[in-house]
């Protein structure tokens, strides 16, 4: 039996769900097919649970910073309690998300879907036919193809661990590896982070990455840079990672070496949708090589950071497009944060642009002794801001501090609004706050 | 002996110091006369030390919120340590501020100054003659004129207490009383807050003030509203506050019933500068009734909140004015925060405007169960945002949460930039953060 829809969306994550609701407001008929949890990665096994678990790091760290400076006593992370606190938030997400779609008139299918040779979508016992289709199936953790790879756990497993082992290892120094390492260390584990070269977090300012690594090392994270893990073997209840001149026994090993797009079982070859290793190839209207099929969110092949608000923005774009708008998609500045204590945030043009182009000026500030950081005795706070000399605007920034997201969001607004620095300084912001410091940064 | 200057500034606080530096960049000769600490109220006995002591409240509260939700153990405030931490910051301020002025070529006088009958400024053994004068002498705590008023301590005393008594009382429910009550309670004191009517924090949204009072009461602050203190007597080592049907023994009593301008000993009658009970009367160029004498900062008679960034803004205005600019002063939105856990912040038009004028719409959100607040198990988070329906802009907001300053600063930028809500939502802010929630608030 074939069911007809205006739009069929593959994937019920942030992008898919958001687009479905928007299309219902346009009175279109919509189906959403999801083979895993409705809500997708972000609220179930991504940003949201991660930052709930990170509350353990935040609280223990702020206490530790202030011990002897006004705070007496000590605290520790109780992992099972923290996991329960996380599950209170995450457990209801999938049903609530699906019910929200249903009550908005969206047909939902909890099935794995693929395009069949007729170009229609097989979803379990149903055939779904859309005037248009949108692929929003996201990504999943990549697993290094080495002997013993079956012993790898993923970030999804980490974010749902009933108990945290005494010794854990993360293989891959991207933002997920850094964030989970911080969480695990704060919760009392011995933590190793293995990275194949000496440029972890390669898309971030490397000076500040180096500071972050120094800080995490001081807190006890054991970094193994320039280290290739060639195999994993099970020895008793432990796993041994090994490579050239490298041997590391550990209780649990997580592969945090990036994520790969969920494209391989969608039957895209049946509908002529082209992909590369980064995902579905789209044009500047998010249209794939099949004019009736679009793609958005993490599954898209793009150099943009694959982030929740980017997925949401793309869903908003497609909602407008399906409603008749014709402009190509255009992105505002996209801030990215490696959450931790400190967090590392970046937005806009990288610091290096100022070296290459005299139009830009780089202002570097060590804020560690500034009031906002002294106040809570924070050990490390630095910022780099890139200024367009002629336009007198901020065009990029990297911030390393416990409050990096606060500063980065303010600076993102300055970039997006192309605010003259002089105009920013005419504003009166609440004092003393992280935001009221911005005038001293620029 | 008379010394001649282009500009003589009475008061070496935030406004005076800032203006002095700006005028030096204009190659003017400048004197600053300060009879107390250089740097003035804010860094020595105001915002900055207050918020350092508030770190005790913040840390103990975040631990308490998360106890049983992932955090085990407990902490308490060690007042002498906290005071030492504060003094590390505040002790060097006055000398450093004065030295900064001196090395910038400003003549500084640590004297009380007053205009003499010749219209010149007596500053100790010196007579200072300025082509122009700027009064920036700030305010001091008001002391209720009741029998026993000599037993009142002030906020200045509180912020410099070697030891915190077991039982303290604040008389006056303005923002200073609320903030100090929160700090003292978190540090383990029994705390009373006495206010003469039932509208403490009267300039804030009263519904959210009520929520704040409920919260502080739950944390143990004992509110005595509609209560007039008629006298204070010393009984043994305690003080007894009494009034009609009211008797309260306490270890230390602070008068937090507002602040009064420092105008009474300046000899203003000798130079025809008019004042009222709120301070020096100025026009929209900050000019007093004497055309060669200006005033700025807390000492000015105004309905604007008397805040550090407002003083800084006025100093910036006068610097431009003395450099030839002629426009009247115009203020952007002025956010005000009662810091605490939660903090109460407000900016722009009050919520009540939406009741009175159909052009405006009030959006009220209980954010307590929202992700950003659930994450740290925060007990209370609410926001009210006033929207201009036709302009589709935010024009006012009140926020009650541990992160109120973060939200209020973002909303202040929206107000100042007259950002359309649609344009705001086209921005990509770091997720998940307090700022990325704003799209759900408006």
Domain with residue A431: its CATH number is 3.30.390.30
Same domain? B8 vs B27: yes
Looking at chain B, how many residues does it have? 442
Nearest CA in chain A to B439: A309
Residue B176 is assigned to a ligand binding site = yes
Per-residue model confidence as pLDDT tens digits over B296-308: 999 999 999 999 9
Q: Average pLDDT of B400-417? A: 98
Under 8 Å between Cβ of A193 and A168:
no
Q: Average pLDDT of B263-279? A: 98
Q: Is residue A349 part of a domain?
A: yes
Bridge partner list, B279: B276
- The DSSP H or E segment spanning A226 is none
Which A residues, 292 through 331, put their C-beta within 8 Å of a C-beta on chain B?
307-310, 313, 316, 331
Which B residues, 394 through 423, put their C-beta within 8 Å of a C-beta on chain A?
405-406, 408-410, 412-413, 416-417, 419
Q: Average pLDDT of B362-390? A: 97
What pLDDT does residue B93 have?
98
Residue A358 phi/psi, 5-degree rounding, is: -70, -10
How distant is the Cα of B374 from the closest Cα of chain A, in angstroms? 8
User: Residue B429 is nearest to which of A56, A58, A309, comparing CB atoms?
Assistant: A309
Closest alpha carbon to A22 in A313, A283, A280, A286: A313
Show which of B322, B354, B369 is a domain's final residue: B322
CB of A210 less than 8 A from some CB of B = no
Paired sense of beta strands A238-243 and B259-261, if any: unpaired
Same domain? B228 vs B277: no
Q: Is residue A329 part of a domain?
A: no
Chosen for mutation from B432, B437, B439, B440 (greatest number of chain A CBs closer than 10 Å) is B432
Peptide bond into A342 cis (omega under 30): yes
Q: What's the ipTM?
A: 0.96
What pLDDT does residue B244 have?
93
The proportion of chain B whose per-residue pLDDT surpasses 70, expressed as a percent, equals 100
- The DSSP H or E segment spanning A431 is none
Same domain? B129 vs B178: no
What pLDDT does residue A1 have?
79
Tokens of B100: 């900064």
Same domain? B284 vs B364: no
Helix/strand/coil (H/E/C) assignment for every residue in B294-326: EECHHHECCCCCCCHHHHHHHHHHHHHHHCCCC
CB of A73 less than 8 A from some CB of B = yes
Q: How confident is the model at residue B152 (pLDDT cuts 50, 70, 90)?
A: very high
Q: Is residue A206 part of a domain?
A: yes
Under 8 Å between Cβ of B49 and B332:
no
User: Residue A89 is nearest to which of B374, B413, B430, comparing CB atoms?
Assistant: B374
Set of chain B residues whose Cβ sits within 8 Å of the Cβ of A315: none
How distant is the Cα of A406 from the closest Cα of chain B, in angstroms? 7
- Residues contacting residue A356 through CB under 8 Å, at least 6 positions apart: none
Closest alpha carbon to B135 in B3, B5, B278, B286: B286
Paired sense of beta strands B259-261 and B139-141, if any: antiparallel
Query: Rounded CA gap, B400 and B403, in Å?
Result: 8
Annotated binding site of A for NAD(+): 172-179, 258
Rg (CA), chain A: 23
- Mean pLDDT of chain B, nearest integer: 97
Instruction: Residue B200: give its domain's CATH number.
Output: 3.50.50.60
Exposed / middle / buried, residue A27 (Cβ in 10 Å: 0-12, 13-18, 19+):
exposed
Same domain? B133 vs B264: yes
* Helix A206-218 × helix A175-186 angle, to 10°: 20
Q: Is residue A30 part of a domain?
A: yes
Looking at chain A, how many residues does it have? 442
How distant is the Cα of A377 from the closest Cα of chain B, in angstroms? 9
What pLDDT does residue B1 have?
79
Same domain? B200 vs B220: yes
Residue B172 is assigned to a ligand binding site = yes
pLDDT beneath 50: ranges in chain A: none
Residue B369 phi/psi, 5-degree rounding, is: -90, 0
Domain boundaries, position A166: 149-257
Paired sense of beta strands A139-141 and A259-261, if any: antiparallel
3-state secondary structure (DSSP) of residue B122: strand
Q: Is residue A331 part of a domain?
A: no
Per-residue model confidence as pLDDT tens digits over A15-43: 999 999 999 999 999 999 999 999 999 99
Chosen for mutation from A378, A427, A438 (greatest number of chain B CBs closer than 10 Å) is A427
Same domain? B15 vs B136: yes
Tokens of A442: 């620029």
3-state secondary structure (DSSP) of residue A190: strand
Closest alpha carbon to A333 in B426, B110, B295: B426
The HSE-up count of residue B316 (CA atoms within 13 Å, CB side) is 15
Which B residues, 77 through 106, put their C-beta within 8 Å of a C-beta on chain A?
77-79, 81-85, 88-89
- Residues contacting residue B265 through CB under 8 Å, at least 6 positions apart: B112, B114
Query: Rounded CA gap, B55 and B59, in Å?
Result: 6
User: Residue B56 is nearest to which of A71, A79, A89, comparing CB atoms?
Assistant: A71
Q: Tell me, rounded to whole angstroms, the distance of Cα A101 from its chain centroid.
A: 24
Paired sense of beta strands A360-366 and B139-141, if any: unpaired
Tokens of A193: 């982070």
Paired sense of beta strands B30-33 and B107-109, if any: parallel
User: Residue A313 is nearest to which of B416, B417, B428, comparing CB atoms?
Assistant: B428
3-state secondary structure (DSSP) of residue A273: coil
Under 8 Å between Cβ of B12 and B98:
yes
Under 8 Å between Cβ of B263 and B274:
no
Under 8 Å between Cβ of A39 and B27:
no
- The DSSP H or E segment spanning B239 is strand B238-243
Query: Rounded CA gap, A280 and A274, in Å?
Result: 6
- Residues contacting residue A214 through CB under 8 Å, at least 6 positions apart: none
What pLDDT does residue A214 have?
97
Query: Rounded CA gap, A190 and A261, in Å?
Result: 31
What pLDDT does residue A389 have?
97
Please state, as a whole number, how many other Cβ atoms lie within 10 Å of the Cβ of residue B390.
8
Residue B100 is assigned to a ligand binding site = no
Q: Is residue B363 part of a domain?
A: yes
Same domain? B132 vs B7: yes
Q: Is residue A345 part of a domain?
A: yes
Annotated binding site of A: 51, 172-179, 258, 298
Peptide bond into A432 cis (omega under 30): yes
Same domain? B250 vs B267: no
Show which of B268, B294, B322 is a domain's final residue: B322
Same domain? A137 vs A155: no
Same domain? B244 vs B357: no
Q: Is residue B230 part of a domain?
A: yes
What pLDDT does residue A363 have?
97
How many distinct structural domains can be found in chain B? 3
The HSE-up count of residue A382 (CA atoms within 13 Å, CB side) is 16
Per-residue model confidence as pLDDT tens digits over B131-144: 999 999 999 999 99
Which B residues, 354 through 393, put their C-beta within 8 Å of a C-beta on chain A?
371, 374-377
Taking every pair of Cα atoms in chain B, the longest distance, rounded to a whole number of angstroms, is 71
Show which of A322, A347, A363 is a domain's final residue: A322
Q: Average pLDDT of B191-215? A: 97
Same domain? A228 vs A104: no
């Amino acid at each position: 039996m074939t069911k007809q829809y205006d739009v069929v969306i593959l994937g019920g994550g942030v992008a898919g769900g958001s687009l479905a609701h928007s299309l219902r407001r346009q009175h279109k008929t919509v189906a959403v097919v999801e083979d895993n949890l409705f809500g997708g990665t972000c609220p179930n096994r991504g940003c949201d649970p991660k930052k709930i678990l990170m509350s353990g790091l935040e609280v223990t760290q702020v206490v530790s910073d202030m011990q002897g400076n006004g705070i007496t006593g000590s605290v520790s992370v109780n992992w099972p309690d923290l996991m329960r606190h996380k599950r209170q938030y995450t457990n209801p997400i999938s049903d609530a998300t699906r019910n929200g779609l249903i009550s908005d008139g969206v047909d939902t299918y909890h099935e794995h879907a693929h395009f069949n040779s007729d170009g229609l979508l097989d979803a379990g016992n149903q055939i779904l036919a859309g005037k248009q289709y949108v692929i929003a199936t996201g990504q999943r953790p990549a697993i290094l193809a080495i002997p013993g790879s079956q012993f790898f756990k993923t970030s999804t497993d980490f974010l749902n661990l009933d108990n945290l082992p005494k010794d854990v290892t993360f293989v891959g120094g991207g933002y997920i590896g850094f964030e989970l390492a911080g969480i695990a260390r704060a919760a009392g584990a011995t933590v190793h982070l293995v990275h194949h070269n000496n440029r972890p977090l390669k898309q971030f300012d490397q000076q500040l990455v180096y500071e972050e690594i120094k800080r995490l090392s001081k807190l006890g994270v054991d970094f193994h840079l320039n280290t290739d893990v060639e195999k994993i073997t099970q020895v008793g209840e432990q796993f041994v990672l090994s490579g050239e001149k490298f041997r590391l026994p550990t209780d649990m090993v997580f592969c945090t070496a990036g994520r790969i797009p969920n494209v391989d079982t969608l039957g895209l070859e049946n509908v002529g949708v082209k992909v590369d290793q980064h995902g579905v190839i789209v044009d500047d209207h998010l249209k794939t090589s099949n004019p009736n099929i679009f793609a958005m969110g993490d599954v898209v092949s793009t150099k943009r950071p694959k982030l929740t608000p980017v997925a949401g923005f793309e869903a908003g774009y497609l909602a407008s497009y399906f409603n008749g708008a014709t402009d190509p998609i255009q992105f505002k500045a996209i801030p990215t944060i490696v959450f931790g204590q400190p967090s590392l945030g970046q937005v806009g043009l990288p610091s290096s642009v100022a070296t290459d182009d005299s139009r830009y000026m780089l202002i570097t500030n060590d804020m560690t002794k500034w009031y906002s950081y002294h106040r809570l005795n924070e050990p490390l706070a630095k910022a780099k801001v890139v200024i367009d000399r002629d336009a007198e605007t901020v065009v990029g920034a990297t911030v390393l501090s416990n409050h990096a997201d606060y500063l980065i969001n303010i600076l993102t607004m300055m970039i997006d609004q192309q605010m003259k620095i002089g105009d920013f300084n005419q504003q009166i912001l609440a004092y003393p706050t992280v935001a009221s410091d911005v005038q001293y940064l620029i």
